[in-house]
Structure 1
């Protein structure tokens, strides 16, 4: 795996997931989430692929009104040939609020396509690594 190509592909995929959530695009989300996807939300609650896809268009995701976001400090660590751990930070603006998070995702290449197998986002103060 070429590190630069993987970084571009995975940064693009992380951005697409944030945009898909904003639009409520179930197909876009489904294409990027592995069948065995799991997430630990900022509340500590566990989600699987089915619950994430079912929530699209509901108040849980639709009410977020994500106006803009910024990804920074993006880095990846190859764990195996087709398995990459990604760490990054986000700044999300929702109305008058700005939310900062430290995020980690586990991406697995399946049939030549990257799919997210795990994700966790932890709220944090601005500038905290």
Structure 2
């Protein structure tokens, strides 16, 4: 895997890998950071999605009960993942399992590279044999 592919895989979050859209990216961001509340500006900055796009996505997620809207200090709105939703639980479990698969694949690739590297070293520097 070259550097460009590796960077792409890091940025592709679990749901985004399937759906390849900004809604999936926002949901992935909220799942990864489910213990926090965020403004639309914070979601925009952290998920690298234009603010106006986030402002169009969030009401859809609130309407579908994936996200909860909280009001602070009058007008200030924060959003959080609706952890009481069965749909959110399924999405969260899928995301966790997918990340675990990514980690296992990366570890397997690292182990394979190490075996190949050690194999090459063994051919370059053969061990001495007993006569």
Greater Rg by CA:
2
Task: Tell me the TM-score normalised to structure 2 length.
Answer: 0.29
Which protein, 1 or 2, shows the higher relative CO under an 8 Å CA cutoff with sep ≥ 6?
Answer: 1
Task: Name the one with the larger strand percent.
Answer: 1
